Chain A
Amino acid sequence: EVQLVESGGGLIPPGGSLRLSCAASGFTFGDYWMHWVRQAPGKGLMWVSRINTDGSSIAYADSVKGRFTISRDNAKNTLYLQMDTLRAEDTAVYYCVRPEEVTATLTLDNWGQGTLVSVSS
């Protein structure tokens, strides 16, 4: 069974940094592209970032480009999101998402439960 467990969220003041982790199990993590998607409280969904299997191809939403860094450690079956220079508008639940197929790169089929990041003084 595919399991994605996010951690690392919390309350952080504006301008601060936080690193989210997503522990994957139940599948060969290194075979899949991975995504982060976020959802502000009471709002809709927003795609944040994507990484390919070996970390050589990465993309970001414009609103986080230059502040967030996605990475992965295939030996530890873990996806990361380093978030720097955080702003109030980054407050959201952050989801780790995996496509259903190894060959798929842009589909959002399997979601973790999410971790809440609150940016406030």
Chain B
Amino acid sequence: IQMTQSPSSLSASVGDRITITCQASRDVGNFLNWFQQRPGKPPKLLIYDASNLETGVPSRFSGSGSGTDFAFTISNLQPEDIATYYCQQFDNLPLTFGGGTKVEIK
């Protein structure tokens, strides 16, 4: 299953709302996760099952979608949100990731 994520990078201001999209090449139901990866660190799970917020993750992060089309939103961008974000399907093997979206602050 191919995961197409866009954009590959974006630059926004503190307080902005940003959205990243992820499209699966076939239906993955809601078996989709979103990860945050800061430089030099392992990925951190933020959203599981497409729309569920992992414990301890700020509520400004959210996810939506099902089937083949998914979205990830940061509603009030903060400086600490600078990172690369990945979607990942776990409907079937091989597990596959989107290409990543690098988020920067203007």
Binding site for B on A (CB under 8 A): 35, 37, 44-47, 50, 59, 61-62, 95, 106-109, 111-114
Contacts and interface: CB of A to CB of B under 8 A. Distances in A.
Contact of A108 (B41, B90, B91, B94): B90
A39 to B, nearest CB: 9
B93 to A, nearest CB: 5
Nearest to A4: B42
Interface in B1-59: 31, 33, 35, 41-45, 48
A44 B97 contact: yes
B93 A108 contact: no
22 contacts: A44-B86, A44-B97, A44-B100, A45-B35, A45-B97, A47-B93, A47-B94, A47-B95, A47-B96, A50-B95, A59-B93, A61-B94, A95-B42, A106-B91, A106-B95, A107-B48, A108-B33, A108-B90, A111-B42, A111-B44, A113-B42, A114-B42
